[in-house]
Amino acid sequence: MRKNIAAGNWKMFKDAASANELFEKLIATEIPENVITVIAPPFIYLKEFVQKASSKDRFLIAAQNCHHATEGAYTGEVSAMMLKSINIPYVIIGHSERREQHAESNEMLKMKVLEALNYGLNPIFCCGEPLEIRKREEHISFVTKQITESLGTLNHDQISQIVIAYEPIWAIGTGETASPEQAQEMHEAIRNHISSLFTEEIANNMSILYGGSVKASNANEIFSKPDVDGGLVGGAALDADSFIKIINSFR
Ligand code: PEP
Protein backbone atom coordinates (compact mmCIF):
# COMPACT_ATOMS: atom_id res chain seq x y z
CA MET A 1 0.00 0.00 0.00
CA ARG A 2 1.21 3.47 -0.91
CA LYS A 3 2.17 5.34 2.25
CA ASN A 4 3.11 8.90 3.11
CA ILE A 5 6.60 8.75 4.56
CA ALA A 6 8.71 11.40 6.29
CA ALA A 7 12.19 9.91 6.54
CA GLY A 8 15.13 11.58 8.27
CA ASN A 9 18.69 10.65 7.32
CA TRP A 10 20.98 11.77 10.13
CA LYS A 11 24.12 10.80 8.15
CA MET A 12 27.25 10.95 10.37
CA PHE A 13 25.97 13.67 12.71
CA LYS A 14 25.43 13.88 16.48
CA ASP A 15 27.21 12.44 19.49
CA ALA A 16 25.26 10.17 21.84
CA ALA A 17 23.88 12.95 24.04
CA SER A 18 22.60 15.11 21.19
CA ALA A 19 21.30 12.08 19.25
CA ASN A 20 19.30 11.03 22.31
CA GLU A 21 17.99 14.52 22.83
CA LEU A 22 16.72 14.70 19.24
CA PHE A 23 15.30 11.19 19.36
CA GLU A 24 13.41 11.84 22.61
CA LYS A 25 11.79 14.95 21.13
CA LEU A 26 10.76 13.07 17.99
CA ILE A 27 9.39 10.03 19.75
CA ALA A 28 7.31 12.27 22.00
CA THR A 29 5.63 13.77 18.94
CA GLU A 30 2.21 12.71 17.80
CA ILE A 31 2.53 11.24 14.30
CA PRO A 32 -0.48 11.98 12.05
CA GLU A 33 -2.52 8.88 11.19
CA ASN A 34 -1.69 9.16 7.49
CA VAL A 35 2.09 9.39 7.96
CA ILE A 36 4.90 6.97 8.67
CA THR A 37 8.01 8.51 10.18
CA VAL A 38 11.34 6.79 9.55
CA ILE A 39 14.52 7.82 11.34
CA ALA A 40 17.93 6.71 10.05
CA PRO A 41 20.52 7.45 12.76
CA PRO A 42 24.16 6.29 12.67
CA PHE A 43 24.59 2.54 13.25
CA ILE A 44 25.82 2.95 16.81
CA TYR A 45 22.40 4.22 17.97
CA LEU A 46 20.21 1.73 16.10
CA LYS A 47 19.73 -0.93 18.76
CA GLU A 48 18.70 1.48 21.49
CA PHE A 49 16.42 3.50 19.23
CA VAL A 50 14.67 0.50 17.70
CA GLN A 51 13.86 -0.81 21.17
CA LYS A 52 12.50 2.57 22.27
CA ALA A 53 10.47 2.94 19.06
CA SER A 54 8.93 -0.55 19.27
CA SER A 55 5.86 0.61 21.19
CA LYS A 56 5.19 3.69 19.07
CA ASP A 57 2.94 3.44 16.03
CA ARG A 58 4.09 4.74 12.65
CA PHE A 59 7.58 5.52 13.98
CA LEU A 60 10.19 3.25 12.43
CA ILE A 61 13.96 3.02 12.35
CA ALA A 62 16.23 2.63 9.32
CA ALA A 63 19.89 1.87 8.83
CA GLN A 64 21.76 4.13 6.42
CA ASN A 65 23.44 1.27 4.54
CA CYS A 66 24.10 -2.45 4.61
CA HIS A 67 26.72 -4.71 3.06
CA HIS A 68 25.92 -7.00 0.14
CA ALA A 69 27.26 -10.09 1.93
CA THR A 70 25.69 -11.84 4.91
CA GLU A 71 28.91 -12.10 6.92
CA GLY A 72 32.62 -12.31 6.29
CA ALA A 73 35.96 -10.54 6.49
CA TYR A 74 34.62 -7.02 5.79
CA THR A 75 36.10 -4.80 8.47
CA GLY A 76 33.85 -1.94 9.48
CA GLU A 77 30.78 -3.18 7.62
CA VAL A 78 27.30 -4.16 8.85
CA SER A 79 25.07 -6.74 7.17
CA ALA A 80 21.34 -6.97 6.57
CA MET A 81 21.31 -10.16 8.64
CA MET A 82 22.66 -8.17 11.62
CA LEU A 83 20.12 -5.39 11.12
CA LYS A 84 17.30 -7.92 10.97
CA SER A 85 18.56 -9.58 14.14
CA ILE A 86 17.86 -6.36 16.07
CA ASN A 87 14.51 -5.81 14.28
CA ILE A 88 15.43 -2.89 12.03
CA PRO A 89 12.67 -2.61 9.40
CA TYR A 90 14.16 -0.24 6.80
CA VAL A 91 17.55 0.31 5.19
CA ILE A 92 18.64 3.16 2.92
CA ILE A 93 20.47 1.74 -0.10
CA GLY A 94 22.31 3.71 -2.76
CA HIS A 95 22.42 7.17 -1.22
CA SER A 96 24.40 9.39 -3.60
CA GLU A 97 27.03 9.98 -0.92
CA ARG A 98 27.67 6.23 -0.78
CA ARG A 99 27.58 5.95 -4.57
CA GLU A 100 30.22 8.71 -4.80
CA GLN A 101 32.38 8.15 -1.73
CA HIS A 102 32.31 4.35 -1.78
CA ALA A 103 32.03 3.78 -5.53
CA GLU A 104 28.74 1.90 -5.19
CA SER A 105 27.65 0.89 -8.69
CA ASN A 106 24.15 0.01 -9.85
CA GLU A 107 25.28 -3.63 -9.92
CA MET A 108 26.59 -3.48 -6.33
CA LEU A 109 23.34 -1.83 -5.20
CA LYS A 110 21.36 -4.62 -6.84
CA MET A 111 23.25 -7.08 -4.63
CA LYS A 112 22.59 -4.97 -1.53
CA VAL A 113 18.89 -4.69 -2.32
CA LEU A 114 18.63 -8.47 -2.75
CA GLU A 115 20.50 -9.10 0.48
CA ALA A 116 18.24 -6.67 2.39
CA LEU A 117 15.12 -8.26 0.91
CA ASN A 118 16.40 -11.75 1.77
CA TYR A 119 16.37 -10.69 5.40
CA GLY A 120 12.95 -9.05 5.23
CA LEU A 121 14.18 -5.46 5.35
CA ASN A 122 12.46 -2.74 3.32
CA PRO A 123 15.02 -0.95 1.15
CA ILE A 124 14.69 2.80 0.63
CA PHE A 125 16.42 2.83 -2.74
CA CYS A 126 17.97 6.18 -3.66
CA CYS A 127 18.43 7.40 -7.21
CA GLY A 128 19.12 10.79 -8.74
CA GLU A 129 21.14 12.62 -11.33
CA PRO A 130 24.17 14.93 -11.07
CA LEU A 131 23.89 18.53 -12.29
CA GLU A 132 25.59 17.99 -15.65
CA ILE A 133 23.05 15.29 -16.55
CA ARG A 134 20.17 17.61 -15.58
CA LYS A 135 21.68 20.39 -17.72
CA ARG A 136 21.85 18.00 -20.69
CA GLU A 137 18.19 17.14 -20.04
CA GLU A 138 19.07 13.46 -19.69
CA HIS A 139 17.84 13.20 -16.11
CA ILE A 140 14.91 10.89 -16.77
CA SER A 141 16.87 8.34 -18.78
CA PHE A 142 19.70 8.49 -16.20
CA VAL A 143 17.40 7.77 -13.26
CA THR A 144 15.32 5.10 -15.01
CA LYS A 145 18.58 3.33 -15.95
CA GLN A 146 19.64 3.35 -12.28
CA ILE A 147 16.30 1.76 -11.41
CA THR A 148 16.41 -0.82 -14.20
CA GLU A 149 19.95 -1.90 -13.36
CA SER A 150 19.41 -2.22 -9.61
CA LEU A 151 15.75 -3.22 -9.31
CA GLY A 152 14.70 -4.46 -12.77
CA THR A 153 15.07 -8.18 -12.07
CA LEU A 154 13.22 -8.28 -8.75
CA ASN A 155 10.08 -10.37 -8.60
CA HIS A 156 6.70 -8.81 -7.80
CA ASP A 157 6.84 -9.62 -4.09
CA GLN A 158 10.32 -8.13 -3.85
CA ILE A 159 9.62 -4.88 -5.71
CA SER A 160 6.53 -4.37 -3.53
CA GLN A 161 8.83 -4.04 -0.49
CA ILE A 162 10.80 -1.15 -2.03
CA VAL A 163 10.46 2.56 -1.36
CA ILE A 164 12.18 4.75 -3.95
CA ALA A 165 13.77 8.06 -2.96
CA TYR A 166 14.46 10.40 -5.85
CA GLU A 167 17.29 12.68 -4.78
CA PRO A 168 18.79 14.96 -7.44
CA ILE A 169 22.44 15.23 -6.40
CA TRP A 170 22.52 18.95 -7.15
CA ALA A 171 19.83 19.50 -4.52
CA ILE A 172 21.33 17.46 -1.67
CA GLY A 173 22.70 19.61 1.12
CA THR A 174 22.97 22.59 -1.24
CA GLY A 175 19.90 24.56 -0.19
CA GLU A 176 18.76 24.33 -3.80
CA THR A 177 15.52 22.35 -4.04
CA ALA A 178 14.02 20.86 -7.16
CA SER A 179 10.84 22.78 -7.88
CA PRO A 180 7.62 20.90 -7.07
CA GLU A 181 7.11 20.63 -10.86
CA GLN A 182 10.59 19.15 -11.40
CA ALA A 183 9.97 16.66 -8.59
CA GLN A 184 6.54 15.72 -9.98
CA GLU A 185 7.94 15.26 -13.51
CA MET A 186 10.55 12.80 -12.27
CA HIS A 187 8.27 11.00 -9.82
CA GLU A 188 5.70 10.45 -12.55
CA ALA A 189 8.42 9.14 -14.86
CA ILE A 190 9.66 6.78 -12.13
CA ARG A 191 6.13 5.51 -11.48
CA ASN A 192 5.55 4.95 -15.20
CA HIS A 193 8.88 3.14 -15.43
CA ILE A 194 7.99 0.86 -12.50
CA SER A 195 4.65 0.20 -14.21
CA SER A 196 6.40 -0.79 -17.45
CA LEU A 197 8.93 -3.03 -15.65
CA PHE A 198 6.34 -4.62 -13.33
CA THR A 199 2.63 -3.74 -13.18
CA GLU A 200 0.51 -0.60 -12.90
CA GLU A 201 -0.79 -1.83 -9.54
CA ILE A 202 2.73 -2.23 -8.16
CA ALA A 203 3.63 1.25 -9.42
CA ASN A 204 0.51 2.82 -7.90
CA ASN A 205 1.21 1.19 -4.54
CA MET A 206 4.84 2.27 -4.39
CA SER A 207 5.87 5.17 -2.15
CA ILE A 208 8.23 7.50 -4.02
CA LEU A 209 9.97 10.08 -1.82
CA TYR A 210 11.69 13.28 -2.83
CA GLY A 211 15.02 14.25 -1.24
CA GLY A 212 17.10 17.37 -1.68
CA SER A 213 16.94 20.35 0.68
CA VAL A 214 13.43 19.59 1.93
CA LYS A 215 12.64 22.03 4.74
CA ALA A 216 9.68 22.91 6.92
CA SER A 217 9.00 25.83 4.56
CA ASN A 218 8.82 23.85 1.30
CA ALA A 219 7.70 20.34 2.37
CA ASN A 220 3.97 20.94 2.02
CA GLU A 221 4.23 22.24 -1.55
CA ILE A 222 6.44 19.36 -2.66
CA PHE A 223 4.44 16.66 -0.84
CA SER A 224 1.20 17.92 -2.34
CA LYS A 225 2.25 16.81 -5.83
CA PRO A 226 0.34 13.68 -6.85
CA ASP A 227 3.33 11.39 -7.33
CA VAL A 228 5.34 12.63 -4.34
CA ASP A 229 4.62 10.46 -1.30
CA GLY A 230 6.92 12.19 1.15
CA GLY A 231 10.54 13.05 1.65
CA LEU A 232 13.96 11.76 2.57
CA VAL A 233 15.36 14.63 4.58
CA GLY A 234 18.97 15.31 5.56
CA GLY A 235 19.84 18.65 7.18
CA ALA A 236 16.33 19.56 8.31
CA ALA A 237 15.96 16.17 10.02
CA LEU A 238 18.68 17.11 12.51
CA ASP A 239 16.50 19.71 14.17
CA ALA A 240 13.43 18.47 16.06
CA ASP A 241 11.22 21.49 15.36
CA SER A 242 11.96 21.43 11.62
CA PHE A 243 11.46 17.71 11.25
CA ILE A 244 8.24 17.72 13.28
CA LYS A 245 6.90 20.41 10.94
CA ILE A 246 7.88 18.24 7.97
CA ILE A 247 6.10 15.23 9.53
CA ASN A 248 3.00 17.45 9.69
CA SER A 249 3.30 18.71 6.12
CA PHE A 250 1.04 16.13 4.49
CA ARG A 251 -2.50 17.10 3.60
C1 PEP B 1 19.85 13.47 1.98
O2 PEP B 1 20.92 13.37 2.53
O3 PEP B 1 19.27 12.44 1.61
C4 PEP B 1 19.30 14.80 1.75
C5 PEP B 1 18.27 14.92 0.97
O6 PEP B 1 19.92 15.84 2.38
P7 PEP B 1 19.38 17.36 2.48
O8 PEP B 1 17.95 17.28 2.93
O9 PEP B 1 20.26 17.98 3.52
O10 PEP B 1 19.52 17.98 1.14
Could you report the per-residue pLDDT of 82-123, keeping only the tens digit for each? 999 999 999 999 999 999 999 999 999 999 999 999 999 999
Render pLDDT for 30-78 as a digit per residue (tens, 0 to 9): 999 999 999 999 999 999 999 999 999 999 999 999 999 999 999 999 9
Q: Per-residue DSSP letters for 142-177? A: HHHHHHHHHHTT--HHHHTT-EEEE--GGGTTSSPP
Distance from the alpha carbon of residue 172 to the mean position of ligand 1, in angstroms:
5
Of 177, 203, 201, nearest to 189 by C-alpha is: 203
Q: Per-residue DSSP letters for 198-251? A: S-HHHHHH--EEE-SS--TTTHHHHHTSTT--EEEESGGGGSHHHHHHHHT---
Residue 174 pLDDT exceeds 90? no
**Confidence class for position 209, pLDDT limits 50, 70, 90:** very high
Which pLDDT score, from 0 to 100, does residue 50 have? 98
In the set 67, 68, 95, 187, the catalytic residue is 95
122-127 and 4-9 strand pairing: unpaired
- Please name the residue whose Cα sits nearest to atom 7 of ligand 1: 234
For residue 11, give the ligand 1 atom closest to its CA.
Answer: 2
- Please name the residue whose Cα sits nearest to atom 6 of ligand 1: 234
Q: Does 95 participate in catalysis according to the annotation?
A: yes
Is the C-beta atom of 234 inside 6 A of ligand 1?
Answer: yes
Extract long-range pairs of 50-53: CB within 8 Å, 24+ residues apart: 50/86, 50/87, 50/88, 52/23, 52/27, 53/27
Which pLDDT score, from 0 to 100, does residue 73 have? 98
For residue 95, give the ligand 1 atom closest to its CA.
Answer: 3
- Please name the residue whose Cα sits nearest to atom 1 of ligand 1: 234
Q: Does 167 participate in catalysis according to the annotation?
A: yes
Residue 210 pLDDT exceeds 90? yes
Distance from C-alpha of 14 to C-alpha of 16, rounded to nearest angstrom: 7
In the set 104, 139, 167, 193, the catalytic residue is 167
Which pLDDT score, from 0 to 100, does residue 1 have? 81
Which pLDDT score, from 0 to 100, does residue 175 have? 82
- Residue count (the chain): 251
Q: What is the mean pLDDT of residues 203-220?
A: 97
Distance from C-alpha of 170 to C-alpha of 172, rounded to nearest angstrom: 6
For residue 174, give the ligand 1 atom closest to its CA.
Answer: 10
Is the C-beta atom of 232 inside 6 A of ligand 1?
Answer: yes
**Confidence class for position 222, pLDDT limits 50, 70, 90:** very high
CATH number, span 4-247: 3.20.20.70
Distance from C-alpha of 133 to C-alpha of 24, rounded to nearest angstrom: 40
pTM exceeds cut of 0.85: yes
pLDDT mean across residues, the chain = 97
